[in-house]
Amino acid sequence: MPRKINFRQRRISLRLKKPTKYMLLPKKVKFRKWQTGRSNPKKQSPDTRGTKLAFGSYGLKSETQARIKSNQIESARKVISRTLTKTGKYWVRIFPDRPFTAKAAEVGMGKGKGDPQGYCFDVFPGRIVFEVDGAEEKVAHEALRKAGSKLPIKTRIISRAHRQ
């Protein structure tokens, strides 16, 4: 026999549920906070891994260095998914595993590092961020162009040379 829940209890339980937003983040991390790392633009070298198309016919390649947050990756992924509809397939070639911290607004200097706010991925020039396959050239270019506008980096659309 189903359990009876009165209306008041039901209203409270519905109010407590928060809408969950799909965002990329690691299941488990070894360290909560990472050190910042070097940021001298003269000493940055192009990426050596993830520079060639591995899955799709078209790809979005980074031209500059930046840290891409998980919500920016998700925003670009949604645009690609919406533009390709059911015709094509896409791959996200990066995963945000680096935690970034921030202090609350109007907090003075000192008293330790801020709390972790989310995760990001450090992209270097030459890294392929997204790949697309199974769509027409115009549709794939449009999807990748829109996705590139959502990211904080300069990007270039590359295509696989068709071998016959």
Phi, psi of 156 (to 5 degrees): -135, 140
State the average pLDDT over residues 115-140.
94
Could you state, in order of their start, the residue ranges of all structural domains in the chain? 53-100+114-164
The answer for residues whose C-beta is within 8 angstroms of residue 93's C-beta and 6 or more apart is 50, 54, 59, 127, 128, 129, 130, 131
Other Cβ atoms within 10 Å of 119 Cβ, number = 21
Sheet-wide strand order for 58-62: 89-92, 128-133, 58-62, 155-159
Span 53-100+114-164 CATH architecture? Alpha-Beta Complex (3.90)
State the average pLDDT over residues 2-8.
59
pLDDT of residue 16: 47
Render pLDDT for 63-106 as a digit per residue (tens, 0 to 9). Answer: 999 999 999 999 999 999 999 988 899 999 999 999 999 999 99
